Structures are given as C-alpha cells and as structure tokens.
Amino acid sequence: MVFGFGKSVKHREIGADALNAMIKAQQALVVDVREVDEFAAGHIPGAINMPLSTFQASKLPDPKGKTLVLNCLGGKRSATALDKCVTAQAAVDTHLAGGFGAWKSAGLPIER
C-alpha cells in the first residue's frame, strides 16, 4: 500500500477487553501519552508514561517481542503520537480505542 502526502494513515485500534487479555498474556506493552498529572491520577497497570508534549518515537522502549500499544484519555492524542511514529518510521501502529476512558468504563484495573 502506498501512502500519499496529506493522507491519514489508518491506525489499528484494539478494545479495552482485548488489550487487557494481551496484557495478561504478556503480549502488550502500554505507553500512555497523557501528561504526568493525568497518568499519576490513574493508568493501565504496567503502562509507561511518555507525555505527548515531549513524545519522541525514537525514545519508545523496546517492547521485547510484545505489541506496543499507545493510549491516552479518549484516543485523539494516541493517534497523534502514532502519526509521529509513522513519520519516524517506528514500527508502532496500535492504540486503545476510546483510550483510558474506555478502559475505566469496562471496569478494568487501574494503577495509581
């Protein structure tokens, strides 16, 4: 598939339950792109905080064979971070559909 200039790259979205299953199976590493104060107020257990305001695809951790999944509050900032990954040609294309809000709504565990 060839991407032209000005075209939006389609990001892969996964739901909260699917992400929770991947985390339990140790198949996902979550990177939360919300700001530090938002992250401190509650986040997906085991997530790494890399705020969008200072986000650099080159600084993403080595997922060691796991799928890197980005998340934010609702999905907009994680999509922006994924755009930065595409520009940097980082092999990251997945984010949490509905973000942390969807995670909370699903009643999944929260770390503080």
pLDDT band at 6 (very low <50, low <70, confident <90, very high): very low
The answer to whether position 23 is within a domain reads yes
The answer to whether position 63 is within a domain reads no
Q: What is the CATH number for 83?
A: 3.40.250.10
The answer to whether position 22 is within a domain reads yes
The answer to whether position 3 is within a domain reads no
- pLDDT at 9 (0 to 100): 61
Which one has a higher pLDDT value, 60 or 2? 60
The answer to whether position 81 is within a domain reads yes
Task: Judge residue 111's burial from the number of C-beta atoms within 10 Å of its C-beta, 0-12 exposed, 13-18 middle, 19 or more buried.
Answer: exposed
pTM of the model: 0.90
> Order of strands, edge to edge, in the sheet holding 28-32?
12-14, 94-96, 67-71, 28-32, 48-49
Paired strand residues for 70: 31, 95
Q: Count structural domains, the chain.
A: 1
The answer to whether position 4 is within a domain reads no
